[in-house]
Structure 1
Amino acid sequence: MAKSATERKREQRERDKLKAEERRARLLAYSLKVDVYQGTADHVERIKQVTGIDEVHDLLTRAIHNISRLDDDALLAFLAEP
């Protein structure tokens, strides 16, 4: 018996969802859960406002990638400050 368009579409969505979940599982190194105190939250909010980056995870990802571009001495100096 032939499948209806609705059935085919539902099956396609299920396949796409599996592909997305499998892709995420392959790419994900680990999840990060962090307690953020008010002073740090204030700094994050200021950075979000200045940069226009709305999502904290996007902001953190960009910051980590950009910080990692520093040479070793600059990285040590950057992170030596509180």
Structure 2
Amino acid sequence: MSAKTAAERKREQRERDKLREEERQARLLAYRLQIEVYHATAEHLDRVLAVCDLEEKQDALTRLIHNAARLPDEKLREFLRQP
């Protein structure tokens, strides 16, 4: 058996890292959310991104959900009753 080349060791390391990343995602991910977004909603989301200096839509949606969840129950109901 010959010694592994640096390229072979690097490839094996990338494979191990990929497996670890997949395992990490499997532990963290509750579910995948796929939605249709209409033009007006997309424009509002684009505004949120611009005003808050965010680049990723997923980041903005995650922050909106987490921050809304911090509201007291009545304030949350009031917030979501608005069109």
TM-score for both structures, normalised by structure 1 = 0.96
Q: Could you tell me how far 1:26 is from its partner in structure 2?
A: 1.1
The residue correspondences of 1:1-82 to structure 2 (distance < 5 A) are 1-82=2-83
Question: Once the two structures are aligned, what percentage of the paired residues are identical?
Answer: 57
Q: Distance in 2 between matches of 1:6 and 1:54?
A: 35
Could you tell me how far apart the structure 1 residues matched to 2:40 and 2:4 are? 58
Instruction: Report the RMSD for the aligned CA atoms in angstroms.
Output: 0.7
Q: What is the identity, as a one-letter code, of the residue corresponding to 1:70?
A: L
Q: TM-score, normalised by structure 2?
A: 0.95
Number of residue equivalences: 82
**Paired amino acid for 1:80:** R
Structure 1 residue 2: deviation in Å?
Answer: 1.1
Gaps of 5+ in 2: none
Query: Which 4+ stretches in 1 moved above 6 angstroms?
Result: none
AA in 2 matched with 1:54: E
